[in-house]
Structure 1
């Protein structure tokens, strides 16, 4: 069942946007993609680790039009509530990354989902959800 990976094509919308209709549409796009990938399974109730990577398209050295990572994760986490997991309080481990599509990459063991994202030739989010380590154990 885990890990699960999915991609969402398009520029993510910040939870701070003033255009609430665009934010609602983005959240629904993420939700529908998660529903399609999860195939009607019940939401998980365990502790989870979520990794979100934003592959953006910007000239190298100019990230002025790229939304901050911390502003794009909330709509994504909210969209996955009730689909992949019961509630985002279950996320005990979280990683958010940004990568410029115009940079060079060396990828070992690329997943089908990530390959699908790169093949689209557009900006996208790669979301990976996996079992989290036991939060009661310090590491």
Structure 2
């Protein structure tokens, strides 16, 4: 399992500024590379991606931030993003009360910091019945 925090506002894959998008992906790739020390997960392994976007009052669309983060981990964590068979994405406003009990420690720390960030977790996918 891999988990890390991207300590800034995410960028949408729909941005018109392609240079900024590439810079964002490179930034995320660097963070993933720092945290992932295991061998590349090879094609044929189904994975689950979990994102929690801690946002201000004008957030990016949650569905538009998934793809750049997913793409940034190709060749670092997994061989191909086709391996991501399950995605859980969540958005929480930093101005709301967020109960940190039961959260992973790095996510609880990000909530306490109070800045926009994205929690990322990659793990093996479960059987469909586990999710339903």
Q: Say if 2:129 is the partner of 1:101.
A: no
Query: Is 2:48–2:122's contact at 8 Å kept on the other side of the alignment?
Result: yes
Shift of 1:28: 0.8
- Decide which of 28, 35, 39 is 1:37's aligned counterpart: 35
Secondary structure, aligned partner of 1:102? coil
* TM-score for both structures, normalised by structure 2: 0.88
Conserved? CA contact 2:110–2:117, under 8 Å? yes
Structure 2 gap segments, 5+ residues each: none
Match of 2:56 in 1: 57
Q: Could you tell me which residue of structure 1 aligns to residue 13 of structure 2?
A: 15
Q: Which runs of 4+ in 1 moved over 4 A?
A: none
Equivalent pairs counted in the alignment come to 129
1:1-139, aligned counterparts within 5 Å?
2=1, 4-39=2-37, 41-45=38-42, 46-58=45-57, 65-134=58-127
